[in-house]
Amino acid sequence: MKSFLIAPCGMNCSICMAYLRDKNKCPGCRLFNKNEPVTIAKCKIKNCATFKKSKSKFCFECEEFPCDKLKHLDKRYRTKYNMSMIENLENIKKLGLREFMKNEKIRWACSQCGGTICVHRGYCYNCRKKV
Ligand SMILES: [Zn+2]
């Protein structure tokens, strides 16, 4: 896993549907350029002016952390996908990015084939095993 795959909001891009799919693949929030027709162009956090101005690498470094935009996104993911961006950010802050990524790799690995479980779909993109 590459460190640029952890988005400013704490999202792990490597478990995202848009990153895992074969067609119209997103390279991840940090590499995304707006000529590519993916949903992330609409992301309020990626396009957040306060965050850009703060020159932070992650939202927790921003003066407005945790802002309403992030809290809203976090709530949606906690409810729908059983994942929390804010929790991710707190772990990055506490453990460091390397350790966080190590844990993420274990957390989202398919027990059957070692492939990656998609947070949005809830199954392994390699063998389609459900979690
Ligand atoms: Zn699998």
pLDDT digits (tens, 9 = 90+) for 74-103: 999 999 999 999 999 999 999 999 999 999
Q: What percent of the chain lies above the pLDDT cut of 70? A: 92
What is the average pLDDT across 4-26? 91
38 pLDDT above the threshold of 60: no
Mean pLDDT taken over the chain: 88
Distance 106 CA to ligand 1 centre (A): 13
3-state secondary structure of 2: coil
Give 66's DSSP letter: S
Distance 40 CA to ligand 1 centre (A): 26
Task: Determine the angle formed by the axes of helices 85-95 and 97-107, rounding to 10 degrees.
Answer: 130
